């Protein structure tokens, strides 16, 4: 049996073990440790008695309080729904136009819509709805499928070129890739389209190019973009006479659009957002474009 020695600093005996110079004091465990342990054990035992805790084969101890996380969650959802019901019921029932004229309801739309928009739409359209190349700007006055709240609500419901059975389908054909127009013809159409929204840009282009472009436009484009190029919201064909461009209004972008075509996709939100949420979002988006003015 090894013999302990007295540690001069603490006055305690060592256990007598020596591991390559390391010794241990034979000091009792401090009382506070036992107290602390007792306190946490008592806390745990009380908690087990009150809450669901120990498994018993196919069941478990349910606890005296009868609390279960599923019930708590349902109660909280219920509470949340009640908190919202003051305005949610009104928005659900009122017509879009009525809501637009009610400043108080519109205040709620702006608050609630901002979070909905941030979580669901901002990834593509930007937090301010300003869009970007390939993603329409929602804060301006140009609308592919119409800017009335009903139309926006419908776009949200079914999406564009989406997987929804009733989805809106919009397609700009690939005139170049599919050999419907030659490269020179496309350049002439680009010149003509430029002249529609920015005549200054084509001032130095030859007359015949413009005339030729107009002819090709009349033969190929008017069925969707209308004779004057102002577009048709029924088929999602954009207005070419304004300054709003999704894929860019410079010559190169216009050329690419006509050559390769465009098939932008907006997902549908039916089934992912509730009718109430889509209604709020439609109102929010329309309000956003009106605010910019």
Binding residues (CB under 8 A) for another protein: these are 2, 7, 9-10, 14-15, 17-30, 33, 36-37, 40-41, 43-44, 47-48, 51-55, 60-61, 63, 67-70, 80, 83-84, 86-87, 108, 111-112, 114-119, 122-123, 127
Our CB check for another protein shows the closer of 18 and 234 to be 18
Our CB check for another protein shows the closer of 154 and 287 to be 287
> CB of residue 218 vs another protein: minimum separation in angstroms?
43
> CB of residue 16 vs another protein: minimum separation in angstroms?
9
Query: Structure tokens of 18?
Result: 């020596």
Look-up of token digits 């989805």: 167
Residue in 165, 156, 140 with CA at minimum distance from that of residue 244: 140
Half-sphere exposure of 94 (CA within 13 A, CB side): 16
> CB of residue 39 vs another protein: minimum separation in angstroms?
9
Half-sphere exposure of 289 (CA within 13 A, CB side): 19
The span from the CA of 38 to the CA of 122, in Å, is: 53
Query: Structure tokens of 27?
Result: 């000091």
> CB of residue 81 vs another protein: minimum separation in angstroms?
8
Our CB check for another protein shows the closer of 2 and 252 to be 2
> CB of residue 269 vs another protein: minimum separation in angstroms?
16
**Cβ count near 233 (within 10 Å):** 15
Our CB check for another protein shows the closer of 48 and 199 to be 48
Our CB check for another protein shows the closer of 56 and 203 to be 56
The span from the CA of 251 to the CA of 293, in Å, is: 28
Our CB check for another protein shows the closer of 42 and 219 to be 42
Helix-helix angle 69-93:275-291, to 10 degrees: 50
Residues 6+ apart with CB under 8 A from 196: 229, 240, 241
> CB of residue 60 vs another protein: minimum separation in angstroms?
4
């Amino acid at each position: 049996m090894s013999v302990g020695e007295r540690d001069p600093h603490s006055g305690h005996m060592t256990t007598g073990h020596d591991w390559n110079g390391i010794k241990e004091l034979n000091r009792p465990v401090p009382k506070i440790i036992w107290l602390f342990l007792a306190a946490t054990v008592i806390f745990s035992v009380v908690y087990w008695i009150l809450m669901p805790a120990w498994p018993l084969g196919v069941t478990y101890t349910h606890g005296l309080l009868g609390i279960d996380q599923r019930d708590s969650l349902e109660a909280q959802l219920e509470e949340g729904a009640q908190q919202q019901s003051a305005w949610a019921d009104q928005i659900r029932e009122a017509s879009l136009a009525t809501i637009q004229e009610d400043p108080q309801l519109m205040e709620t739309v702006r608050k609630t819509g901002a979070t909905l928009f941030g979580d669901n739409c901002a990834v593509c359209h930007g937090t301010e709805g300003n869009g970007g190349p390939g993603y329409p700007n929602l804060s301006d006055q140009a609308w592919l499928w119409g800017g009335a709240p009903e139309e926006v609500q419908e776009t949200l419901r079914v999406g564009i070129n989406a997987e929804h059975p009733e989805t809106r389908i919009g397609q700009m054909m690939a005139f170049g890739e599919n050999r419907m127009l030659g490269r020179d013809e496309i350049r002439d159409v680009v010149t003509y389209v430029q002249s529609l929204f920015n005549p200054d840009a084509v001032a130095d282009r030859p007359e015949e190019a413009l005339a030729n472009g107009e002819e090709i436009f009349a033969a190929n484009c008017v069925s969707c973009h209308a004779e004057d190029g102002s577009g048709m919201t029924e088929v999602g064909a954009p207005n070419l006479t304004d300054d709003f461009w999704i894929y860019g209004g410079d010559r190169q972008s216009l050329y690419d659009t006509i050559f390769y075509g465009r098939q932008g996709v907006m997902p549908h939100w039916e089934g992912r957002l509730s009718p109430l949420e889509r209604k709020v979002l439609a109102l929010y988006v329309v309000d956003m474009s009106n605010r910019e003015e």
